Amino acid sequence: MALDSDTLATDIQTNLTSCGFGLIAQNKCFCEAIAKAVVEHIKASAEVPVTTGSSSGTYKVT
């Protein structure tokens, strides 16, 4: 599954709204900024270990 900051931002907004937070422009921007940072961090830091076979090793997620 591909990481998508727009989908994550929408999910964050939905969860905040269900907790009683009003969705104002500032909150929407805040959610989008958090989602973008999370996706960027995961993409920059993620690694996949392959433990068997001729391709064994640790590979960066791109």
Between 5-18 and 25-45, two packed helices, what is the crossing angle to 10 degrees? 130
**For the chain, what are the domain ranges?**
5-60
Secondary structure of residue 39 in the 3-state scheme: helix
Overall pTM > 0.75: no
pLDDT per residue as tens, the chain (62 positions): 688 999 999 999 999 989 998 878 888 899 999 999 999 999 899 999 999 999 999 998 77
d(CA 53, CA 3): 27
